[in-house]
Amino acid sequence: MGAKLLGTGSYLPPKVLTNEDLESLVDTSNEWIVQRTGIRTRHLLEESELASDMGVRASGNALEAAERSAQDIDLLLVATTFPDMICPGSAPFIAEGLGLTHAPFFDLKAGCSGFVYGTAVAHGLIQSGTFRNILVIGIEALSRVTDWEDRRTCVLFGDGAGAVLLGPGDEACNETSGILGAALFGDAEKALYLHTLAGGTRHPASAETVANKEHYLRMEGSGVFRTAVPMMEKATLAALDDANLSLSDVDWIIPHQANKRIIDALVRRLNVDEDRVVVNLDRVANTSAASIPIALDESIRSQRIQPGDVVVMTAFGAGVTYGAVVLKV
Query: What are the catalytic residues?
Result: 112, 256, 286
The residue count for binding ligand UT7 (CB under 6 A) is 20
By CB under 6 A, residue 28 contacts ligand UT7: yes
Q: For residue 141, give the 3-state DSSP assignment.
A: strand
- Binding flags for ligand UT7, 44-83, as an x/- string (CB under 6 A): ----------------------------------------
Nearer to ligand UT7, 66 or 154 (CB): 154
By CB under 6 A, residue 91 contacts ligand UT7: no
By CB under 6 A, residue 310 contacts ligand UT7: no
By CB under 6 A, residue 106 contacts ligand UT7: no
Cα dihedral angle (235, 228, 85, 74), rounded to 10 degrees? -20
All residues at 6 or more sequence positions from 58 whose CB lies less than 8 Å from its CB, including other chains: 9, 10, 11, 137, 139, 161, 162, 163, 290, 293, 297
**Cβ 28 to ligand UT7 shortest distance, Å:** 3
As a whole number of angstroms, the distance between CA 267 and CA 165 comes to 29
- Which stretches of the chain are DSSP H helices? 19-23, 30-37, 51-66, 91-98, 114-127, 151-154, 207-211, 221-242, 260-270, 281-284, 291-301
75 has which bridge partners?
134
Side-chain half-sphere exposure of 3, counting CA atoms within 13 A: 30
Using CB under 6 A, which of the segments 51-59, 69-77, 148-156, 202-210 binds ligand UT7? 148-156
Output the CA–CA distances (angstroms, integers) from residue 324 to 12, 115, 147, in the order listed: 24, 10, 30
Among 122, 224, 238, 254, binds ligand UT7 (CB under 6 A): 224
Nearer to ligand UT7, 112 or 284 (CB): 112
Among 1, 16, 36, 203, binds ligand UT7 (CB under 6 A): 36
By CB under 6 A, residue 225 contacts ligand UT7: yes
As a whole number of angstroms, the distance between CA 14 and CA 301 comes to 18
Residues in 245-274 at the binding interface with ligand UT7, rule: CB under 6 A: 258-259
Binding site for ligand UT7 (CB under 6 A): 28, 32-33, 36-37, 112, 151-152, 155, 194, 219, 221-222, 224-225, 258-259, 286, 288, 317
